[in-house]
Amino acid sequence: MNPDLLTALKAQRIETPSWGYGNSGTRFKTFAAAGAARTIWEKLDDAAEVQRLTGIAPGVAIHIPWDAVDDYGELKKYASERGLTIGAINPNVFQDEEYRLGSVTNPDEAVREQAIQHLLDCVEVMKQTGSRDLSLWFADGTNYAGQDDLRSRKRRMRAGLKRVHDALPSGTRMLVEYKLFEPAFYATDLFDWGASYSHCLAIGDKAQVLVDLGHHAQGVNIEQIVAFLLDEGRLGGFHFNARRYGDDDLIVGTSNPFELFCIYAELVYGANSADDLTKQTAQNLSYMIDQSHNIEPKVEAMLQSVLNCQESYAKALLIDRDLLKEAQSKGDVLAAHRVMMDAFKTDVRPLLMELRAEMGIHSEPIEAHRQSGYQEKVARERGTQTGGGGYPVKGKAGVSR
């Protein structure tokens, strides 16, 4: 295998979300799964199984207060002993009763202060876990025309983001995630990439846009958003998942593998060597999965997600950039398109098996997981917890103020 390819593939990093290992559901029903993780400690055990079998998923994003603990140093140590690191910190400002009309954009100043304080508490958590990213998603929005003043809500959002941005330690970032709809159904305060982008420009260099693949209207060209934000130096990272109709949080790369390939094609676009690729994909972007595995076995679903991202990345690395540039410069439409399709149609499974042999891991991770008895073991030990995943204790981040 081309050594540059090997270097780049070994450097790929995918961060798995703690909430993807626990029970989750829709507004209609949460089906309890035998062995689903009940605590952050069990979630880290599951993440360690994914890392053991893939070698490219050492980071675990956590959600506060769902994963709040009294001692984040102990959490960091527990993760490290399993070959893991604590990744992005995800504040929760969408489940406390006070947030009915929004959090940082709420018309009530006291509620806005409560939300901002929780975000600032999560900045303290970042300091204790050594996390680089504060991953911000707001459910804030309105359900009816006239319910609230849209411009006032925009200014409240900016003011709140600015206060948190200015509290970030150096070397850390806030990732401002947008979403077209849900749970607000008339207007969402961070409704598209342009809203996030303009807030990031206004509040400072530590603010970057986070692209969640499920957060767009039907048919939106997401890879073009990725290309634009990369070119502007304002892409912080991703929440990977798949969608057919809405923010379905299905396994990334399942409903539209070509879209995922085109996104990765933009990510490796500017890189002309393994060193560029390693820099571009390993260090300055956050590749987080954000999914809810409502009917799938949790750990196997997460494994499949990581492997789907790995496969798309490998295909994108195979794009013949010189041939592509030549065809593009000549305006040879179909020759250029065929260069992309040739890479997309390449079966990279042999390549990935070779990579895993180099990495000293099983060539077939899913099969290895199924043979390992891990799922049966945790089902015996944990039993079946009824009810949804992490529902927060009221706004407690576990940090002393």
Which residues contact Zn ion by CB under 5 A? 212, 239, 247, 249, 290
Q: How far is the CB of 273 from ligand AOS (least distance, A)?
A: 33
Taking CB atoms, the residue at the shortest distance from Zn ion is 239
Q: Which is nearer to ligand AOS, 20 or 55 (CB)?
A: 20
In the list ligand AOS, Zn ion, none, the entry touching 15 (Cβ below 5 to 8 angstroms by class) is: none
Of 353, 276, 241, residue with least CA distance to 17: 241
Could you tell me the CA-to-CA distances from 159 to 1, 156, 175, 272, 319 in Å, in that order? 51, 5, 16, 40, 43
In the list Zn ion, ligand AOS, none, the entry touching 90 (Cβ below 5 to 8 angstroms by class) is: ligand AOS
Taking CB atoms, the residue at the shortest distance from ligand AOS is 137
Are the beta carbons of 312 and 257 closer than 8 angstroms? yes
Q: How far is the CB of 137 from Zn ion (least distance, A)?
A: 5
Q: How far is the CB of 201 from ligand AOS (least distance, A)?
A: 22
Could you tell me the CA-to-CA distances from 189 to 24, 54, 112 in Å, in that order? 25, 37, 14
Q: Which of 15, 290, 300, 311 binds ligand AOS (CB under 6 A)?
A: 290
Q: How far is the CB of 360 from Zn ion (least distance, A)?
A: 33
Q: Which is nearer to ligand AOS, 137 or 313 (CB)?
A: 137
Binders of ligand AOS among 182-241, rule CB under 6 A? 212, 239
In the list ligand AOS, Zn ion, none, the entry touching 298 (Cβ below 5 to 8 angstroms by class) is: none
Binders of ligand AOS among 45-64, rule CB under 6 A? 63
Binding of ligand AOS at residue 293 (CB under 6 A)?
no
First and final C-alpha spacing in the chain: 53
Tokens of 280: 């571009």
Q: Which is nearer to ligand AOS, 190 or 271 (CB)?
A: 190
Q: How far is the CB of 24 from ligand AOS (least distance, A)?
A: 10
Q: Which is nearer to ligand AOS, 49 or 177 (CB)?
A: 177
How far apart are the C-alpha atoms of 322 and 340, rounded to whole Å?
12
Q: Which is nearer to ligand AOS, 90 or 208 (CB)?
A: 90
Tokens of 296: 């799938």
Of 248, 252, 250, 196, residue with least CA distance to 225: 196
Are the beta carbons of 54 and 89 closer than 8 angstroms? no
Of 310, 305, 58, 371, residue with least CA distance to 362: 371
Q: How far is the CB of 201 from Zn ion (least distance, A)?
A: 21
In the list ligand AOS, Zn ion, none, the entry touching 173 (Cβ below 5 to 8 angstroms by class) is: none
Binding of ligand AOS at residue 90 (CB under 6 A)?
yes
Binding of ligand AOS at residue 43 (CB under 6 A)?
no
Of 259, 266, 184, residue with least CA distance to 214: 259
Which ranges of 212-347 does DSSP label H, i.e. alpha helix?
A: 222-232, 257-267, 274-278, 298-317, 321-330, 333-345
The residue to which tokens 């299905």 are assigned: 250
135 φ, ψ (degrees, to nearest 5)? -95, 110
Task: Quickly list DSSP for 299-336.
Answer: HHHHHHHHHHHHHHHHHHHT--HHHHHHHHHHT-HHHH
Q: Which is nearer to Zn ion, 42 or 247 (CB)?
A: 247
Are the beta carbons of 238 and 213 closer than 8 angstroms? yes
Q: How far is the CB of 290 from Zn ion (least distance, A)?
A: 4
Q: How many residues bind ligand AOS (CB under 6 A)?
A: 9
Q: Which of 96, 177, 189, 300 binds ligand AOS (CB under 6 A)?
A: 177
Interface positions with ligand AOS (CB under 6 A): 63, 90, 137, 177, 179, 212, 239, 247, 290
